[in-house]
Structure 1
């Protein structure tokens, strides 16, 4: 399942550089996560790095992009190929 950033985001800029897949970018008002690039850090780390550094805890799972661990690993392999 991909992650998403809620409107509680304070644009602190700490999540974007932590994403190994470059899935996070500045949106019109807040940062956004590209679900096609988000693997929840599967293949890179044990836990999503953006969630670890977010000071306001505004990065939950995106219910519209549910994926299994195997699907996230497959996406990681495609991105890093």
Structure 2
């Protein structure tokens, strides 16, 4: 998974919805832990601006 830095609002919606805690926010980016991610796409669905993609 990856996020578009131009679109991302850093709202944390994706962090809160991830069932595997595979997403966290750093100062200027969203970080995806690929080892924990199970590609459920909940983060994609919950992002209010469509900033997350595979």
TM range (shorter): 0.7 to 0.9
Give 1 or 2: higher strand fraction: 2
> Which stretches of structure 1, 4 residues or more, deviate above 3 A after TM superposition?
none
Q: How well do the aligned residues superpose, as a CA RMSD in angstroms?
A: 1.1
Give 1 or 2: higher helix fraction: 1
Indicate the structure whose relative CO is greater, using CA pairs within 8 Å and at least 6 residues apart: 2
Q: Any stretches of 5+ residues in structure 2 without a counterpart?
A: none
TM-score using structure 2 length: 0.83
TM-score using structure 1 length: 0.59
Q: Any stretches of 5+ residues in structure 1 without a counterpart?
A: 42-47, 62-81
Aligned length: 53
